[in-house]
Structure 1
């Protein structure tokens, strides 16, 4: 079986040594975002005056994106550190990791969402089985024509399948950049806004390293390309599905660490759960 993907003016990029100077740009924060260690490390900080953020120089249409993050330590209540893919426009697509801070000693909440054609409301939330502030951990997004897989240290925590066959929109046509930012969201982030940001603990800093991308890079040249990927190509993220071991890990995470699933929220969807919930 062959997967044929037609991508306008695109090319394949493989993982290479991290260089944040080469791959990203600080987009806001007035100096609160910094690239350090000859491009091997990036930090974003938040204080009472402002947060900060960066974006990738490339746009991607399908890919496997890995980023190592070390989250804000100690009392991070009220803060949100985001790491996501997004396109532009009023009918944008988006694939979200958001890390909701908490009081020291309490677990972070990992908030995930998928937007298609400008519509989200597909939240799933998890706690982690480790303290994400002590060391770096790898947070991955695998996005291909079959599904979107959110993973932590190689362990899948969420799968959003392509269910276009039953009328569920799926991100297929809009190239996306990688974004990350840190900002104050104490009106909702921690216990629904009950715990406010303690600015005496600022600045709050998140750190990034070891970015890797196996992806189709979108450009605006005049040529187009057609690429075929045989299903026998075991390393191809473009047709890779979860194996039996990964499915077991996914069930383990859902059983032990999932704290919210929109597909189980009958109060939010009293008439009918979203169509994809039968399969996701």
Structure 2
């Protein structure tokens, strides 16, 4: 009886591992729905399938994943709008689909720029309807010349944001201290391009130049993996060298060094250091963030 039970558990583990891994590969059209706008399937210069998402004066564009996940790793290759993209925002985010007052969300927002200026990557998290956890970074490359890989890893212990496998941000689960964390609800991946010239570029001082429209960003090679306990650490972990993979709450030294480098060289805003905003003390989650 014990041997049969062990074989059954092993079979179930293998089944769930295969099921989760199947979300990673395959035809992108099998995993993505085009929602609105003039988004269309294209073949890029390398022969790969991609989605061209456009913004003009009349409509934005949006896509979403067919599946929702509770804890996951999401990767997407993106090539951003070139030239004068001031006022535009291109996004990759995960969000729940229940009531807005209690929604969870993990945001990557690429804020447009005037020609020759670097893109700003704006990151944020909402949990149980509470947001306001903004951090911003200057990208260290031109994201309009080629595709780069943007990653969200979300599990029970922390959320990680990576660019080309370089760690930008870690958000720890501090529910035990009364800090909301996206723990209870599944989320779906969305990507959009839209006009936000009231705030996106230099606080709204630079407006969208509609003579440059349509603005087009390209998305390809979408991978989404559900981070279940049946999976090996190399799939949803912060690094294959981690002894406990995605279950390990602590980062290895390589990841810690990446965070230090990003903070010192590329981070341009951190809500946890904004004394004008928090005159009476920083939020609880900023302690040992």
TM-score (norm 1): 0.87
- 2:259 corresponds to 1:250: yes
Q: Which residue of 1 aligns with 2:50?
A: 41
User: 1:18·1:210 contact (CA, 8 Å) conserved in 2?
Assistant: no
1:58 aligns to what SS in structure 2? Answer: strand
Deviations 1:21-50 (A, max 9, x none): 211111111xx1112239821111001111
- 2:89 corresponds to 1:83: no
Query: How far did 1:183 drift?
Result: 0.6
- 2:126 corresponds to 1:120: no
2:146 aligns to what SS in structure 1? Answer: coil
Pick the aligned partner of 2:190 from 146, 159, 179: 179
Pick the aligned partner of 1:193 from 196, 204, 219: 204
CA distance in 1, matches of 2:258, 2:76: 20
Deviations 1:128-186 (A, max 9, x none): 11000000000000001110000000001011001112111111110000001101111
Q: Which residue of 1 aligns with 2:223?
A: 212
Deviating above 6 A after TM superposition, structure 1's stretches of 4 or more consecutive aligned residues are: none
Query: How far did 1:233 drift?
Result: 4.3
Task: Look at both structures and tell me which one has the larger radius of gyration over its CA atoms.
Answer: 2
CA distance in 1, matches of 2:68, 2:90: 21
Q: Which residue of 1 aligns with 2:144?
A: 133
CA distance in 1, matches of 2:145, 2:33: 26
Q: Give unpaired runs (5+ residues) of structure 2.
A: 1-15, 238-245
1:13 aligns to what SS in structure 2? Answer: helix
- 2:20 corresponds to 1:13: yes
CA distance in 1, matches of 2:233, 2:64: 31
Deviations 1:222-266 (A, max 9, x none): xxxxx6459x84544341442111110111001010000000011
Pick the aligned partner of 1:144 from 141, 144, 155: 155
Deviations 1:174-220 (A, max 9, x none): 0000001101111110001110111111110000111112215xxxx
User: 2:73·2:236 contact (CA, 8 Å) conserved in 1?
Assistant: no
1:17 aligns to what SS in structure 2? Answer: coil
CA distance in 1, matches of 2:29, 2:94: 19
Larger % of helix: which? 2
TM-score (norm 2): 0.85
Worse-matched range after superposition: 236-245 or 99-108: 236-245
Count of aligned pairs between the two proteins: 258
Larger % of strand: which? 1
CA distance in 2, matches of 1:17, 1:259: 35
CA RMSD, 1 decimal: 1.9
